[in-house]
Amino acid sequence: DPFYGFSHLRQLYWKENTEFKGHFIIPMLWDRKTEVVVSNESSIIMRMLEESFDHLLLKDRQEVNCPGGGLYLEVFRPKIKAMNK
């Protein structure tokens, strides 16, 4: 880890909560400013990244210009939602 020098993911969980006893799950989205785990759910992270950074993509790749396409393909949304219940 280039920011904290950690060699294991568990060290980030423990940085936020020294009493953490749960599973150390990847992927994990970490907020460096607040030093907390934002999410460790892949579908939520995917949507957060798409919503937050879509404007940085080339215009033809942005969600607004790819109705039903983009990073969160409409064709797969029902399956993704069902898997995350």
Q: How far apart are CA 82 and CA 25, in angstroms?
A: 20
pLDDT in tens, 38-80: 999 888 898 888 888 888 988 888 888 887 777 777 888 888 8
Residue 35, by phi and psi: left (phi above 0), alpha (psi -120 to 50) or beta?
Answer: left
pLDDT(17) > 80: yes
Kindly report the CA angle at 3 between 31 and 53, in degrees rounded to 5? 40
For position 82, what pLDDT does the model report?
87
pLDDT tens string 49-59: 888 888 898 88
Q: Please work out, in degrees rounded to the nearest 5, the angle formed at the alpha carbon of residue 43 by the alpha carbons of 62 and 12.
A: 110
Q: What is the model's pTM?
A: 0.69
